[in-house]
Structure 1
Amino acid sequence: MQCPHADAGECRSCPLMGVPYSLQLQNKQAGVRALLDPVAGTHTPDGTDLWLEPIPSQESAFRNKAKMVVTGSAEHPRLGILDPRQHPKHHDGTGVDLQDCGLYEPALGAAFPPIAETITTAGLIPYDVGRRTGELKHVILTLSPEERLMIRFVLRSTDQLPALRAAVPGLLEALPNSQVVTANILPEHRAVLEGEEEIHLAGAETLTMRVNGIPLNQRPQGFFQTNTAMASALYAQASAWLDQTLTRSVWDLYCGVGGFGFQLAEVRHGSGPLPPGTQRSVQGLETAPDAVAAAQVTARQLGAQDRVRFAVGDATAVQAPEEVPDAVVVNPPRRGIGPELADWLEGSGVPRVLYSSCNAATLARDLERLRSYHPVRAQLLDMFPQTDHYEVLMLLERSRHH
């Protein structure tokens, strides 16, 4: 993949642009193993290779989410990024238009022109970061696998909200695949994407992200993997590995909207000790109330709310229950699970842990504290081509002598 914006130095989001994709994948695998092999080893206890082949992504057109800074004018808005060639402290607000970025799924890219037209129709004045004037800061779009859209306008205040409301019917006519339209209010001059207040403008309350047949519900401020195909592969691989065990109960920590939890709520493969269709009990824990509420909606839709439950809570402060589950799934942020949760798992007696990591350095650090466990499967999934980022899935089992 090649990009004129990268060639011109006006976008630096893809540092590996121009590197052959096979080499990108090879280098990521080598880098991850350099961090993890000294801790995890290279083979399972039965002598087989620990690492499976990496799962590649599409090189382009894989992103389901766009976070666009709005610059220019209401008459001629630019959707993209601030010009990175300027010093942040002395930025004059000039933006680079990235509506033609090759990373976005085609249906996502097709939404940009109607959104720009809506900005003009409503007369929304782009926020000038240098002068701290204007109203419209960002437009954030998410595309579902069925090519339905969530569209969010991030405003400095509610001053231009009436004008935006008046323009929404035209937006829905131009983009009939819009499922959710909201305004987010971000009053502060800060380098963040969104504020706390979300105002519903049209459509449903959630965007349905159907992954491996499961209707995950995405709320405006919730997290979802930006590469749907790789998210599907990640959840499916976790399911395949766990189905080779006698797991009947699962805790899904850092559960988000329940991507892992719902995938693991029943046995899906026939080669393991439990027959396909065997139901599991799942308990999810997540700090974000919106994500938990969205997961609860999916549980009701599937009629599984009696055995697949979600609660708001801090995964790093898990309290010891009377009975531990057969497996714990952890999908932490880049900082990893940390010493408190790692030490709890180490002393818990939980038979197995599925660890999904976006940072092999913190995964290696956490593995140092999980000495009662040995890795039995590991795989890299390339969530983010053209960058150094990735996801690693590892299955750990408690050693028999512990």
Structure 2
Amino acid sequence: MQCDDYDAGRCRSCTLMGTAYADQLADKDRHVRSTLAPHTEGTTWLEPVRSPASHFRNKAKLVVGGTPGHPTLGILDAGGRGVDLRRCGLYEPGLSATFDPLHRLLVDHRVVPYDVPSRRGELKHLLVTHSPDGEHLVRFVVRTQEGLQAVRRLLPDLRAALPSARVVTVNLHPEHKAVLEGETEVVLTDEAVLPMRLGGVTLRLGPRAFFQTNTLVATALYAQAAAWAERLSPAAVTDLYCGVGGFALHLAAPGRRVTGVEVSAEAVAAARASADEMASGTAGLDIRFTAGDATDGVPGDPDLVVVNPPRRGIGADLAARLEASGARHVVYSSCNVDTLARDLAAMPSFRAREGRVVDMFPQTRHVETVLLLERG
């Protein structure tokens, strides 16, 4: 992948830029296998899941900089000034196509960007998610109610310029902190969730919902877990950290009880709506979602447990609960191979039978790993 912004030194976020993609993937595969080697003796490693080297991201997290009438959408430089990255090659074409219309709206309405050095201004971030059906969720992160009203005023023009914007929201983030969003979300459209159709499963993303940043590779990740479940034929599956139900819904099958646990009540509501839709079209599905802390236990007396934790991993407490559970198998999907290695060390009764590198993040050293663990 060639990038003018990288070559000009405007952005160096893609730390592997200039390295051939085949070499990137081979290096990631070697690194994962080496890091996990003490815990994966006898493991069968499957061929890594490849991603397109460019145009793969389904979500943009754009920092808004510049001045009224001359905003930038991208990142901030070392001095806190905006760097425009609307031509970044990482985004899906249907996502990057939204950047210029949104930029023109900010120009025409003279929306005031937030200036980090002076701590003044309104619009901090513009967050856009693109669905496989070409629809969008657009979020404006602003500092005050004045910023909220500014977005309300431009909404009719936004709907005209970007009719694919199914969901538009405003997030209020009044504090000067290095975090992406605040606690208050205001939905400005009739629709509050963005459908993400992945084959026969439709997930529903609310403004704060987590979804893998690479739709194509996420589909392959879910398919791998479903293939393992098909082979194992578990009577009961528990999906911890289930989010909007990605793994749980893909592992659902007639005669199999699936339980999902997620701390976000909003995500649980979205997962339940997807489950209801699936159940209306397929007889014999038993899918349940509950709001709760995934580290508190392993409900549902499962044969198979799926864990997809944040970068910190599952931790010692949940590892101990999995050890003490009656689960025969665990599918562990990890975005941090170091915490994955630590968690495997804390579950000595499980052995990794199969593993696969899943490349969600080309051009960077970040990598997803999925393992099938078996007790014995």
1:253 matched to which residue of 2?
A: 240
Give, as a single letter, the amino acid of the residue that structure 1 aligns with 2:98. A
2:196 aligned to 209, 218, 225, which one?
A: 209
Q: Deviations over 1:225-250 (max 9, x none)?
A: 00000100000010011111131210
Q: How does 1:137-286 map to 2 (within 5 A)?
A: 137-266=124-253, 278-286=254-262
1:316 matched to which residue of 2?
A: 295
CA positional deviation for 1:163: 2.9
Q: Contact 2:329/2:374 (CA < 8 Å) preserved in 1?
A: yes
1:386 matched to which residue of 2?
A: 363
2:321 aligned to 332, 337, 344, which one?
A: 344
Q: Which segments of 5 or more consecutive residues in structure 1 lack a partner in the other structure?
A: 45-49, 267-277
CA positional deviation for 1:306: 7.5
Q: Contact 2:59/2:91 (CA < 8 Å) preserved in 1?
A: yes
In the alignment, is residue 52 of structure 1 matched against residue 34 of structure 2? no
Distance in 1 of aligned mates of 2:219 and 2:255: 20
Q: Contact 2:136/2:166 (CA < 8 Å) preserved in 1?
A: yes
Q: Deviations over 1:286-329 (max 9, x none)?
A: 1122211211121222236982111111111116x5x6211000
Q: Contact 1:328/1:354 (CA < 8 Å) preserved in 2?
A: yes
CA positional deviation for 1:203: 4.0
2:339 aligned to 350, 359, 362, which one?
A: 362
1:103 matched to which residue of 2?
A: 90
1:271 matched to which residue of 2?
A: none
Q: How does 1:117-132 map to 2 (within 5 A)?
A: 117-132=104-119
Q: Contact 2:237/2:304 (CA < 8 Å) preserved in 1?
A: yes
TM-score, normalised by the number of residues in structure 1: 0.90
Q: Contact 1:74/1:123 (CA < 8 Å) preserved in 2?
A: yes
Secondary structure of the structure 1 residue equivalent to 2:231: coil
Secondary structure of the structure 2 residue equivalent to 1:10: coil
CA positional deviation for 1:212: 2.4
Q: Contact 2:311/2:336 (CA < 8 Å) preserved in 1?
A: yes
Q: Contact 2:303/2:326 (CA < 8 Å) preserved in 1?
A: no
1:293 matched to which residue of 2?
A: 269
Distance in 1 of aligned mates of 2:342 and 2:3: 36
2:10 matched to which residue of 1?
A: 10
1:81 matched to which residue of 2?
A: 75
Secondary structure of the structure 2 residue equivalent to 1:300: helix
1:332 matched to which residue of 2?
A: 309
Structure 1 moving runs of 4+ over 4 Å: none
Distance in 2 of aligned mates of 1:301 and 1:245: 26
In the alignment, is residue 307 of structure 1 matched against residue 286 of structure 2? yes
Q: Which segments of 5 or more consecutive residues in structure 2 lack a partner in the other structure?
A: none
Q: Contact 1:212/1:236 (CA < 8 Å) preserved in 2?
A: no
Distance in 2 of aligned mates of 1:101 and 1:384: 15
Q: Deviations over 1:21-71 (max 9, x none)?
A: 111001001111111112121x24xxxxx1011111000000000000111
Distance in 2 of aligned mates of 1:81 and 1:28: 26
1:270 matched to which residue of 2?
A: none
CA positional deviation for 1:114: 1.0
Give, as a single letter, the amino acid of the residue that structure 2 aligns with 1:374. R
Secondary structure of the structure 2 residue equivalent to 1:302: helix
Give, as a single letter, the amino acid of the residue that structure 2 aligns with 1:339. A
Secondary structure of the structure 2 residue equivalent to 1:78: strand
TM-score, normalised by the number of residues in structure 2: 0.96
Total equivalences in the alignment = 373
Distance in 2 of aligned mates of 1:218 and 1:111: 19
Q: Mean alpha-carbon deviation: is it higher for 336-345 or for 160-169?
A: 160-169
Secondary structure of the structure 2 residue equivalent to 1:379: strand
Q: Contact 1:256/1:291 (CA < 8 Å) preserved in 2?
A: yes
Q: Deviations over 1:371-390 (max 9, x none)?
A: 11111110001000000011
Secondary structure of the structure 2 residue equivalent to 1:29: helix
Distance in 2 of aligned mates of 1:204 and 1:306: 27
In the alignment, is residue 395 of structure 1 matched against residue 372 of structure 2? yes
Distance in 1 of aligned mates of 2:4 and 2:190: 36
Q: CA RMSD in A?
A: 1.4
Give, as a single letter, the amino acid of the residue that structure 1 aligns with 2:373. L
Q: Contact 1:123/1:163 (CA < 8 Å) preserved in 2?
A: no
Q: Deviations over 1:313-362 (max 9, x none)?
A: 1111116x5x6211000001111111111111111121110000111111
Give, as a single letter, the amino acid of the residue that structure 2 aligns with 1:335. R
Distance in 2 of aligned mates of 1:371 and 1:339: 12
Identity rate, percent: 52
1:47 matched to which residue of 2?
A: none
2:33 matched to which residue of 1?
A: 33
